[in-house]
Chain A
Amino acid sequence: MKRKIALGLLVAAALSAAPVAPNSGKSEVAKMTLKVGDTAPDFTLLSDQWKSVKLSDYRGKKNVFLAVYVLAFTGG
């Protein structure tokens, strides 16, 4: 299958998963601040190949599927 549909970027955040059920104290309800129609803020992140990946490098070239994947069990 050709993978021209979108460039997939996965931000692994295994150690940052939300608590399932905090037993005490207050918890802030997480809600994303971005919505459809907003310009995606640019970012530069390190890839698994230790290369800098900049979102704006794909502008005009490819659609981007950005998956923030907590508890990915990467072992890291």
Chain B
Amino acid sequence: MDSPAANAAFAKQIGINFPLLSDMNRKMLKTYGILKGYNVQDETYEWALRANIIIDKQGVIQFVEEGDSAVDPNTALTMCTTLHKKDSAK
């Protein structure tokens, strides 16, 4: 996992304005089922999936995509817009 210092440099480089988080002990990745073990020649290696997850204000997961489909964030962004419109209509 990348350190907060590495993430800070990256955030500055690409100019983002949202938190860039480090899961240094891989706890969150394991809890969410994103970190998986692969056995290669009798050695176990841990690798993370790419994933997009949208969680609403109530803390309920509204959208999940993983693996190759999560490389393009547009579907998730569309879901964000839909969720925002629902909130605004309330």
Contacts and interface: CB of A to CB of B under 8 A. Distances in A.
Whether chain B is bound by chain A comes out as yes
A9 to B, nearest CB: 5
Interface of B: 1-11, 16-24, 26-29, 31-42, 45-64, 66-67, 70, 73, 76-77, 80-81, 83-84, 87
Given A35-B61, A55-B55, A41 B39 contact: no
Nearest to A51: B19
Contacts, number: 235
B81 A16 contact: no
Main secondary structure of the interface of B (DSSP, over half): mixed
Contacts of A13: 1-2, 23, 29, 48
Contact of A11 (B28, B40, B73): B28
Contacts of A36: 61-64
Contacts of A12: 1-2, 6-7, 10, 20-22
Interface of A: 3-19, 22, 24-28, 30-41, 43, 45-51, 53, 55-56, 58-76
A72 B70 CA distance: 13
Main secondary structure of the interface of A (DSSP, over half): loop
11 contacts: A10-B16, A10-B19, A11-B28, A16-B26, A26-B39, A30-B36, A30-B47, A34-B61, A48-B7, A68-B29, A70-B49
